[in-house]
Copies of this chain bind each other. A is one copy, B any other.
């Protein structure tokens, strides 16, 4: 059994974030020592690492929570997992598309923006339209 700081180090989840997950009911309340400090088991740390990986993959916290529940349920329902993941992939691809268009638009805007011009063409472009 380890303290919250060590659990944070081992899982990569920040201390404040761990307490936040607890408040939100995303992870169960851990044991407490006699001095009221939280005590984490290896399983607790495993949950945190799972959540960390989900979040790093860009899943919304609500999805991460669902995935964790699925992961701990007796029947690991692969269909539900697939659906969540595929929806998320679609959303990631949409974001990439949007940002790619944005990038093109920004590149075009700045391309016309020569250094030191008195009336900046980029501002003119932003005003126009």
Contact = CB atoms under 8 A, between A and B. Distances in A.
- One complex includes copies of this chain to the number of 2
Contact of A79 (B70, B81, B116): B116
A102 B110 contact: no
Interface stretch (A14-22, A25-33, A34-42, A93-101): A93-101
Nearest to A80: B120
Contacts of A85: 106, 109-110, 113, 122
A126 B46 CA distance: 10
* A-side interface size class: 35 or more
Interface of A: 46, 49-50, 53-54, 57-58, 67, 70-71, 75-79, 81-82, 85-86, 88-89, 92-93, 95-96, 99-100, 102-103, 105-107, 109-110, 113-120, 122-123, 126-127, 129
